[in-house]
Amino acid sequence: MIIDSQELEENYHASADVVIVGSGAGGAPMAYKLAQAGWKVILLEEGRNNNPADLNRNSWEAMKEMYRDSGMLATLGTPSIPLPLGLTLGGTTVINSGTCFRTPEKVFAEWKEKFGLSEVQYADLIPLFEESEKMIHVQEAPYELLGTNNQMFAEGARKLGLHGRPLMRNVINCKGAGICAFGCPEHAKQSMERNFLPAASELGATIITSARAEKIITQKKTAKGVEGSFLDAKRKRRTKFRIDAPVVVLSCGAIYTPYLLLNNGMANCSRQVGRNLHIHPAAKVIAMFDEAIDAWNGVPQGYYVDDYAGEGIMFEGFFLPPAILSFALPAMGMKLKKYMADYRKMAGFGIMVTDTSHGRVIKGLNHSPLIFYNLNETDTAKFVKGVEIAARVYLAAGANKILVPIHGIDEITCEADLQKLHDVKIKPGHLELSAFHPMGTCRMGDDAKNSVVNSHLETHDVKGLFVADASVFPSSLGVNPQMSIMAFSLFAANYLLKNKSQYSV
Amino acid sequence: MIRQLSVREIKTLHALAQCIIPGGGQHPFSYRDVDYISFAKEMIANVPVHVRWFIHFNLWVIHYFSWLYLKRPALFSHLSFTEREFVLTCLSKSRWFLIRSIYILTSALLLIPLYKDERVMKAIGYFGFGHAGNKKGDTL
Ligand SMILES: Cc1cc2nc3c(=O)[nH]c(=O)nc-3n(C[C@H](O)[C@H](O)[C@H](O)COP(=O)(O)OP(=O)(O)OC[C@H]3O[C@@H](n4cnc5c(N)ncnc54)[C@H](O)[C@@H]3O)c2cc1C
Ligand code: SF4
């Protein structure tokens, strides 16, 4: 059953075998797996059960409805970086681009070396990747759906001898409508509310939307349930609720899980809750061509180039509707109007950097955490290199002008202009970035002194309290994280199924 | 209780709009065509408290301290168009990120309502929501 809390009585009180908080890439597979085994599952989601098709394909409406804080969440630091998160049934998967990568083996090996992770081997994850990929219909983006935006970059990359491929995506009958990040209006993208969640519901799970968990109930360092508030249509507290359960799984994402734990003063003997935040920051490079590209036509993130992935630089397609792109361009007044009048001739590609920088989430005001993050010089240098490569690719593809996200270097029109990237020392504060993949704030590891959860994702400090979301990754993954989150969540669910007697389920 | 835009802030926004989304140029739509004040109010009502403070703070800084770039005391809304444009260029090109972000966030309050307007989207040729238009053939 998927039900909005407004349909439930005041001071609702229920009990279950497990209460899961959050319905994104971490919470949804957990709910499905446990419900499949006959557990009584209650899943709480703060957002509503939105239907992207109702949002009239309007990016601002979608942001208001399905993004936390209308998409205005950002890090504090140099530079300040917008960090959008989903607030809807299905979590951030509803507003993501649908790109699917398995955890790189090299990254997993580094985690094992540094943090032990004694209970999990890469081989254990493979069937879990397969299970998730089957459930969410992962397939390679067909070339004809890539649109000219991705094809231009592909052409430039090929001329430079770089290797690219269409991305693997979780879609059925994608129409290339080009607004994945604002909710797929065609219901083609297979985000959590289209598969794991309805399947869990059919297996008996109760999924309550507009329900915000606020307090984790414990007794003698053992989880006992969750208390919180049901929200009204304006997202204000309507009434309190309480769910009793011997297993509590936090899947609120890498910002809100540590925030909840910090608010509860819980699971933090290691003092690592909220620390080690990696965000996998991204920069946009915009190219102008002589002819119309109509970059919104086709899958926005449909192609990637990974020749420099070993150095922590990944190239993936992107494009944005005019309202959002307009304030990302380095111009004002008439010059900006001129750029926007050429919107049809623009193409865009993103550069994502595996960050060695790290930040921290702390308690803020009024149900909003504060997120601190400063980019370091090493990562800045990776961005400069990435921008130079992307600009070369676009020049090779025939672009007449490239707008780069570096302060003071607005336009690149020829190879000689690339020298500008080396003429001045580019500092972190000179970059205009955004980020979409926060992780690391409740990292996993064998040592309770420097990690928050063990490798089956149970907190070291509180028996029965699990974290299954992007918070648990000890370092930046270097690829889009949703598949890794799903696989680790299923791993923890399998652990629970094997050990249920320990939790009196 | 959320603090909404004051009369002074509304005046500053009008003065900003004339420079950031001016009339004329490559497409006909400008500050005259959109209700950016309602948009700013909606934004203020929907963002977290620290972003709300930042919006008020930015408008306050622009209103009272723009003259620092001109070296003659005057409130932003009292400056000529050219002077306002100069101040905004200085803010947007500052090498200090915090100063640049004053410009970025404030300009978003004006640019989003303009470019989310269907008439403007059509004028720049964005019809969105189409199907994939593969202009490059179908082999890699
Ligand atoms: C624009 C964008 C594009 C992206 N593209 C990709 C991509 O192509 N591929 C990819 O792999 N990844 C992508 N990502 C990232 C990916 O979607 C996320 O990493 C992933 O969804 C995170 O999963 P999660 O379970 O950690 O958190 P989320 O999916 O964010 O889910 C957390 C859920 O918990 C809810 N919640 C939080 N606090 C509470 C509370 N107290 N009570 C109740 N509910 C609560 C939230 O409302 C939310 O629904 C993208 C992200 C963005 C923003
Ligand atoms: S490209 Fe369009 S149809 Fe395909 S998943 Fe994205 S929004 Fe949906």
Query: What are the residue ranges spanned by the domains of chain B?
Result: 7-124
pLDDT at B138 over 60: no
Mutation to probe ligand 1, out of A96, A171, A248, A488 (largest number of atoms < 8 A from CB): A96
pLDDT given at position A131: 98
Average pLDDT over residues A269-293: 97
pLDDT at B132 over 60: no
Per-residue pLDDT tens for A28-44? 999 999 999 999 999 99
CA A63 from chain center: how many Å? 15
Highest mean predicted confidence (pLDDT) among A16-20, A49-53, A317-321 = A16-20
pLDDT given at position A58: 75
Catalytic positions of A are 437
pLDDT at B140 over 50: no
Q: Can you give the residue ranges of every domain in chain A?
A: 2-137+182-277+437-503, 141-169+282-354+376-430
pLDDT at B137 over 50: no
Average pLDDT over residues A111-125: 97
Angle of the B81-92 helix axis to the B97-115 helix axis, nearest 10:
120
For residue B133, name the pLDDT band (cuts at 50, 70, 90). Answer: very low
pLDDT at A187 over 60: yes
- What CA–CA distance (Å, rounded) separates A149 from A142? 14
Average pLDDT over residues A5-19: 97
pLDDT at A122 over 70: yes
Residue A342 per-residue DSSP state? T
Residue A219's Cβ-count burial label (10 Å; 0-12, 13-18, 19+) is: exposed
Say if ligand 1 is within 6 A of residue A316 CB: no
Average pLDDT over residues A363-374: 86
pLDDT given at position A54: 82
- Nearest ligand atom owner, CA of A214: 1
pLDDT at A132 over 60: yes
Q: Which of B92, B112, B140 sits opposite A143 (nearest CB)?
A: B140
Choices 3.40.47, 3.90.1580, 2.60.40, 3.30.410: CATH for A141-169+282-354+376-430: 3.30.410
pLDDT given at position B135: 38
Average pLDDT over residues B50-62: 92
Higher-pLDDT residue of A223, A69: A223
Say if ligand 1 is within 6 A of residue A66 CB: no
For residue B84, name the pLDDT band (cuts at 50, 70, 90). Answer: very high
Residue A305 per-residue DSSP state? E
Average pLDDT over residues B49-76: 90
pLDDT given at position A479: 98
For residue A434, name the pLDDT band (cuts at 50, 70, 90). Answer: very high
For residue B134, name the pLDDT band (cuts at 50, 70, 90). Answer: very low
pLDDT given at position A56: 64
Whole-Å CA distances, B43 to B14, B37, B38, B86, B100: 16, 10, 9, 27, 20
Nearest atom (ligand 1) to Cα of A101:
11
Higher-pLDDT residue of B138, B52: B52
Q: Which of residues 68-87 of B touch A (CB under 8 A)?
A: 85
% of chain A exceeding 90 in pLDDT: 89
- What CA–CA distance (Å, rounded) separates A457 from A440? 13
Residue A28's Cβ-count burial label (10 Å; 0-12, 13-18, 19+) is: buried
pLDDT given at position A309: 97
Residue A355, C-beta contacts closer than 8 angstroms, at least 6 positions apart: A278, A279, A280, A281, A312, A375, A379, A476
- What CA–CA distance (Å, rounded) separates A500 from B71? 72
Please answer whether residues A287 and A347 qualify as being in contact, where contact means their C-beta atoms are separated by less than 8 angstroms. yes
For residue B129, name the pLDDT band (cuts at 50, 70, 90). Answer: very low
pLDDT given at position A179: 86
Q: Which of B94, B101, B129, B138 is the best substitution to test chain A (most A C-beta atoms within 10 A)?
A: B129
Average pLDDT over residues A57-61: 78
CA B18 to chain A, closest CA, distance in angstroms equals: 9
Please answer whether residues A228 and A213 qualify as being in contact, where contact means their C-beta atoms are separated by less than 8 angstroms. yes
> Are B128 and A296 within 8 A, CB to CB?
yes
Residues with CB under 6 A from ligand 2: A 98, 171, 174-180, 184, 186, 188-189, 299
Residue whose Cα lies nearest atom 27 of ligand 1: it is A253
| Cβ-based contacts under 8 A for chains A and B | 176
> Are B126 and A344 within 8 A, CB to CB?
yes
Average pLDDT over residues A273-283: 98
pLDDT given at position B128: 65
Average pLDDT over residues A149-167: 96
**Alpha helix locations (H) across A100-218?**
105-115, 122-135, 147-159, 196-202
Give the strand pairing for A465-467 and A247-250: parallel
- Among chain B residues, the shortest Cα distance to A302 is held by B132
For residue B73, name the pLDDT band (cuts at 50, 70, 90). Answer: confident
Residues facing A352 on adjacent strands: A282, A314
Q: Which CATH class is domain A2-137+182-277+437-503?
A: alpha beta
pLDDT given at position A493: 98
Average pLDDT of chain A to the nearest whole number? 95
Average pLDDT over residues B51-69: 92
**Mean pLDDT lowest for which of A286-295, A416-425, B41-50?**
B41-50
Higher-pLDDT residue of A72, A312: A312
Residues from chain A contacting residue B113 (CB–CB below 8 Å): 323
CA A444 to chain B, closest CA, distance in angstroms equals: 30
